[in-house]
């Protein structure tokens, strides 16, 4: 039996202001829309509005920006 791949993204930064976060979450949303299991691991700040509903989100660590 073949198991479908799962994807996990670790994103660190300033929510939706950081280009890499926008890129990674857009890819996560696309993979989720195609039926893959996706998780997003946040570091420093969390933006619950970016990932599509149904994507598992976890916080690895919190931090202050300034």
Structure tokens at 63: 């931090």
Residue 15 lies in a domain: yes
pLDDT in tens, 20-63: 888 999 999 999 999 999 999 998 888 888 999 999 999 988 77
Query: What was the pLDDT predicted at 38?
Result: 97
* Total domains present in the chain: 1
Q: How high is the pLDDT of residue 13?
A: 66
The contacts of residue 36 (CB under 8 Å, 6+ apart) are 4, 5, 6, 7
pLDDT at 4 (0 to 100) = 85
Confidence of residue 3 (pLDDT cuts 50, 70, 90): confident
Sign of CA dihedral 61, 12, 9, 48: positive
In a domain, 1, yes or no: no
Segments forming the whole domain that contains residue 33: 6-62
């Amino acid at each position: 039996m073949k198991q479908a791949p799962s994807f996990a993204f670790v994103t660190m930064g300033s929510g939706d202001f950081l280009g890499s976060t926008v890129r990674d979450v857009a890819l996560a949303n696309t993979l989720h829309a195609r039926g893959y299991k996706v998780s997003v691991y946040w570091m420093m700040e969390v933006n619950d509005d970016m990932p599509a509903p149904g994507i598992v989100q976890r916080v690895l660590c919190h931090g202050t920006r300034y």
